Structure 1
Amino acid sequence: MSSRVRSTTTVLVAMAAALVAVTFGSMLVEAQDNGYYVPAAKLEPGPRAPDVPSVTVRCGTNERRHLNPDNPVTAPGVRSAAHHMHEYVGNTSTDAMSTNATLEASTSTCERGDLSSYSWPVLRLTDGAAHDVHEAGGGADGNLGEILPPKTVEVRYEGSPSGQLVPVPRFLRMMTGDAKAVTNGFGPATRVRWGCSNIPGHFTTKYPLCDGGAETLRVYEFPSCWDGANVDSTSHRSHIVFQLANGVCPVRTFATPRLVVSVGYEVPGGRPFAIDSFPSELRHPATDHAGFINLMPEAEMREITNQLNGGR
């Protein structure tokens, strides 16, 4: 057989294998769809992003694989309270038993001496085996499948289009999104944005089927209007709330740098995937959420705030 024939045969075999893989992968998604997936072409334009300054803090992509089924923001002191697995960047010691003192004494994956904890539920390929099939947060709570590590993580602080900011207070805790959105009837706490890296500014509340090698994105926008007194509250939400539709903070609150965390994944084409959730929430994409505990050094937070205020 000539080298040209062998080369042509190799290419044809590779193309056939790719076609089978794509077709089989699509079948896998369709078999497990339940209305959770949406083609990339159906992503919709999100609200226009305000033209404000921003500061990015590099924190890595959780290369150390810091994972646990705890939620130190909403259930401190309770092991495995989340009933699903969380992924972390920043503080390397964060778990259910974390205190301000233990977090301060820890190390971090972030630059600028930022010991803050940034967390969100893991993403899994649901057609593959997982190491935690019998463990709390994993298979024992109905979250089956291979955990997919993030390809990219961006931690960004943004300015305000409507006035001066005050620094985020040290030890402030906050959440975004509703981990029990299904149970709660997809109420106002549900804030989910899924997208594809090659279609900027377009989002969905479902799992997007990105194509062309694009990353699957999860974008978490945190509240930024602080009550000026508390670093936590009984609801873990009332002490810091979201801006109004016009970008202005409600009365008797103070604008702080707005935290936005974007997480990107390389999801193999056609493979079914889902986030971890409470068993009652059925791994619904609208239950996506994220947590934050601020341990940025006060001097660094003041510097970030000053930059976002235009140096004023």
Structure 2
Amino acid sequence: MSESAMARRRGVAVMLALELLLIGLGVGTVRAVEGVVAGHVPRRPLASQLGPDFMDIDSVRSDAAQSVVPPPAGAGSYTWDCGRNEIGHRNTANVVAAPGYPGQAHHVHDYVGNVSTAVGSTPRSLATAPTTCRNGDRSTYFWPVLRTVPAGDGGVGHPGHDGEIQVPAAVTLTFLGNSRGHVVPMPLRLAGTVGDAVAITNGSARPAATWTCSSTPDRRTTAYPVCPVGDRVLRIFDFPSCWDGRRLDSPTHRAHLLAADQDGACPHDTFPVPRLRMTLAYDLPPVVRFQIDAFDGQHNSPLTDHAFFLNLMPETVTAKVVACLNAGRTCHDG
């Protein structure tokens, strides 16, 4: 028998063995193996395969209700490094919206910045605690954890909360300037929030379009995105940046810090402060369901994505931020 014929027979034998192995394990069909053997790149799933909370990112641009562009920013930016929560700082507290209360066990937050943020934290206790930020920023920044949904758990929206928590591959904190003029310093202990943790109950007035993919950051959606293979899933939180000049917080945690309009102008009697943008990037397999932790009755919906901060940045660092933004420079600190 010729060498080429023998090689073909060996190839057939290998494929047959792989097929029998897969059948014995109850895993897929030989077509999956053929794709790997032939070097085919796995294709991303259809949004319909993952559930009603998912949207193919390619369809976002044509959907005006889902495509949200934040107000234009000034030319300046200040970026600093607070890690990505490699230390696993997580709990159910919320020092902005519900200080002193433990929170619900199935609504866990990820943190960067101040390492002491917990149920009993106060601005005074936080002000002297260590931080993960390399520039000495003691502020606390937090958001609901992202979990992959275990196989057989009913898909996205299932009330189970035992999925594996996904540590972000990267967390980027950036302050942006105002396109209409200079910003004023953000006051110490200013609290901010974006999104709505109970959007299913409250309706659709306050959800933030936070979701997108690394190759399409200009496309924002309130749905979980189905990204191209090789892309990272992104959550981008653009906080409001027009301060009323008086209050550090308000009963709604919103009235004191408003969003600029689509031209970048602040509402009457408010002042532009540095606009915080938090970008969380996740490396997820191409075919996987995922969802954020949410309160009961919110169905783990992407509409309920949200984030908070409590500003405890030292005044010396705040001065650097304002000078950078108002000069239109691009600054990196730490």
Aligned twin of 2:32: 16
Residue 30 to residue 18, structure 1, CA distance change in 2 (3 Å): farther
Q: Which deviates further from its counterpart, 121-130 or 299-308?
A: 121-130
Q: Which deviates further from its counterpart, 11-20 or 192-201?
A: 11-20
TM-score by length of 2: 0.81
Residue 64 to residue 246, structure 1, CA distance change in 2 (3 Å): same
Q: Pick one of 284, 288, 292 that aligns with 1:275.
A: 292
Q: Map of 1:171-250 to 2, 5 A cutoff?
A: 171-187=189-205, 189-250=206-267
Structure showing greater radius of gyration is: 2
Q: Pick one of 98, 103, 118 that aligns with 2:121.
A: 98
2:274 is equivalent to residue 251 of structure 1 = no
Gaps in structure 1 of 5+ consecutive residues: 131-138
The question of whether the paired residues in 1 share the 8 Å contact of 2:68 and 2:209 is answered with no
State the distance in 1 between where 2:76 and 2:15 align: 49
Aligned twin of 2:181: 163
Question: Shift of the alpha carbon at 1:17?
Answer: 3.9
Aligned twin of 2:171: 153
2:133 is equivalent to residue 110 of structure 1 = yes
Question: Shift of the alpha carbon at 1:30?
Answer: 4.9
Gaps in structure 2 of 5+ consecutive residues: 19-29, 62-66, 330-334
The question of whether the paired residues in 2 share the 8 Å contact of 1:142 and 1:279 is answered with no
Identity %: 38
Note the alpha carbon deviations across 1:228-280, whole angstroms, 9 max, x for none: 11111111111111112221111111110000001010111111111111111
Aligned twin of 1:125: 148
2:310 is equivalent to residue 293 of structure 1 = yes
State the distance in 2 between where 1:7 and 1:75 align: 63
Residue 258 to residue 19, structure 1, CA distance change in 2 (3 Å): same
Question: Shift of the alpha carbon at 1:11?
Answer: 10
Query: Across the two proteins, how many residue pairs are aligned to each other?
Result: 299
Partner SS, residue 200 of structure 1: coil
Aligned twin of 2:53: 36
State the distance in 1 between where 2:11 and 2:77 align: 51
Partner SS, residue 286 of structure 1: helix
Q: Pick one of 297, 305, 308 that aligns with 2:322.
A: 305
Partner SS, residue 75 of structure 1: coil
Residue 173 to residue 82, structure 1, CA distance change in 2 (3 Å): farther
Question: Shift of the alpha carbon at 1:144?
Answer: 3.1
Question: Shift of the alpha carbon at 1:100?
Answer: 1.3
Aligned twin of 2:64: none
The question of whether the paired residues in 1 share the 8 Å contact of 2:90 and 2:109 is answered with yes
